[in-house]
Chain A
Amino acid sequence: MIEIENITKRYGDNTVVDTVSMTVEPHTITVIVGTSGSGKTTLMRMINRLVEPSEGMIRIDGADNRSIPGYELRRHIGYAIQGHGLFPHRTVGENIATVPTLLGWDKKRIAAKVEELLTLFQLDPSAFGPRYPHELSGGQQQRVGVARALAAEPNILLMDEPFGALDPVIRAKAQDDLLAIQKHFGTTIVLVTHDMEEAFHLADKIAVMDKGRIVQCAAPEEMLVNPATDFVETLIGTEERPFRLLSIGTAGDAAEAGEAQGEPIAASLSQREALSSLLWSGREALPVVGSDGAPLGRVTLAGLARRAARPQ
């Protein structure tokens, strides 16, 4: 749990973050969105004290984050950034081992962790471990960057536009991987982005920042239905609302009893993707199958349309 209390950051006369308070529940994904210069990155960087606040306090699992030295704190909080920031003079394996090495783990434990993480990120340890970062593709570098952030098994992972440098195809895959990883480790994730699509796809809670203040911090559905200000509404995009609503739930949730013809839809896909498949195939309904291929029912155009409408 991260409790942010009345945190303020000023640079001279310029207030970048202005008396912000929020709580991040454990094992959830909180996405901070906002325009450039809204203070979202500064707010996140105060959690691991890459930036020291001017006023206020941040507690992590009840303890003030200033109770231990900054570098010590940062070793226990994962940190992944845009453009990955991998050390070019170290191999992929050495990069992932960075924090465990700093923490003084023994060699065997480090080697086992590196192998586990590479496997988890679908990179063959024997092939990728000894390579240098520049020998990897952008998507692979990004995965290694996240693996490095997770190497010391932190409870908290901070991510600063981690997918910003990826092309759309790889980005979607990286987002799904992140959700899977979060489920696997139960990590508390705070992610900064300016991409609303990404926010709605990943977030348990979205915090919207504007001019250094948090305008609204709510679950995605809540934010769609009751945007706190015009700014939030603009950010969501009024014409996107029904689709954003659909992108929160999965096709499995929308499955109704019954049968349908055609190419089946995986239950893990979002309802938005299900709608897209329905429209493109020109059918009224399509079957839904679980990850094991077992039929779960069907999704229908009418059913999805009901779900896309403004909740009463």
Chain B
Amino acid sequence: MRRFLPNLLRLAALILLIAFLVRPELFEPLLKPLVQANAPAIYNQGSLLSLTLSHLATVFTATFAATLVAVGLAILVTRPVGAEFLPLSRSLVNIGQTFPPVAVLALAVPIVGFGEKPTLIALFLYGLLPVFENAMTGLSTLPKAIVEAARGTGMTAWQQLTRVELPLALPVILAGIRLSVTISLATATIGSTVAAKTLGEVIIAGLQSNNLAFVLQGGVVVAVLAVLIYDAFSAVERALARRAGRV
């Protein structure tokens, strides 16, 4: 019952978002007061729905790749064989995080050209750190008795990892992915400066033509997406943690 009201609000936000993306003209009266006479109130240089979908596709592709690499690295450096790679891995993902995505875009365009690719590279690098650090924490703070029991029952190293360590670290790893996705959702908008199809296109169009309604709709759609996806991840983490008796 305690979660009823927030969930109702989330559902309402989701319905409004879908309605806006599918039939934006319905919301025209609301946005009309924000624009000068004769200027369009609804983005008219492309479909909002397809921009949103390609925005999400970019974010998820980049985060998925970042997750694979970051979790892979974390697994490697938490094994006895890979322990010496920990400082190196940590520096690598830290560089990925400190390098501003704008700079990555600027550097990547001459190499891979305009479009989705430079954005994917920037988001991938930016998304590594939260996933890596959380996966490290999750895998290295497992209760000793449980890891010991896994070995004692005769699991091979691979079985210990896949049957015990990863499932138990999953809620913490998911929290890292959640952070990464949320940051990427917002950061992806700047990809439109190098011609990636993202919701940034709407915001940039609004800035260029001094159209507040465009800026607002681009921004709000990204924000609502971020909140909903963040909450969905949190809910999955809670469910997993509850099952494992960690709360």
Asked whether A72 lies within 8 Å of B154 as measured between CB atoms, the reply is: yes
Residue ID in chain B nearest A74 by CB atoms:
B154
Interface residue ranges of B66-97 to A (CB < 8 Å): none
- B interface residue count range (under 10 / 10 to 19 / 20 to 34 / 35 or more): 20 to 34
The interface-forming segment of B31-39, B107-115, B120-128, B238-246 is B238-246
A30 in the interface (beta carbon within 8 A) = no
Indicate if the CB atoms of B152 and A85 lie closer than 8 Å: yes
Considering only CB atoms and an 8 Å cut-off, how many residues of chain A contact the other chain?
26
Q: A85-B143, A85-B152 are in contact. List 5 more A-B contacts (CB 8 A).
A: A71-B155, A81-B145, A87-B164, A87-B168, A89-B243
Residue of A nearest to B156 (CB): A71
B153 contacts across to A, CB distance below 8 A? 74-75, 79, 98-99, 102, 148
Q: Known interface pairs A88-B146, A102-B159. Does A75 touch B154 (Cβ–Cβ under 8 Å)?
A: yes
Q: Which of B151, B156, B159, B244 contacts A88 (CB 8 A)?
A: B244
The 9 closest A-B pairs by CB, nearest first: A134-B245, A85-B149, A75-B154, A74-B154, A79-B152, A85-B145, A89-B244, A83-B145, A88-B244
Mark interface residues in A132-151 (1 if CB within 8 Å of B CB, else 0): 11110000000000001000
**A contact residues around B155 at 8 Å (CB):** 71, 102
Determine the residue in chain A with the shortest Cβ distance to B170: A89
Which A positions have Cβ atoms within 8 angstroms of B? 48, 50, 71-76, 79, 81-89, 98-99, 102, 132-135, 148
Q: Provide the main secondary structure of the chain B interface.
A: helix
CA distance A74 to B151 in the complex (A): 8
What are 13 A-B contacts with C-beta separation under 8 Å?
A50-B152, A71-B159, A74-B151, A76-B154, A81-B148, A81-B152, A83-B145, A86-B146, A89-B168, A102-B155, A102-B159, A134-B245, A135-B245
Contacts of B146 in A (CB 8 A): 85-88
Contacts of A86 in B (CB 8 A): 146, 149
Q: Closest CB-CB distance, B146 to chain A, in whole Å?
A: 5
| B145 touches which of A72, A73, A84 (Cβ 8 Å) | A84
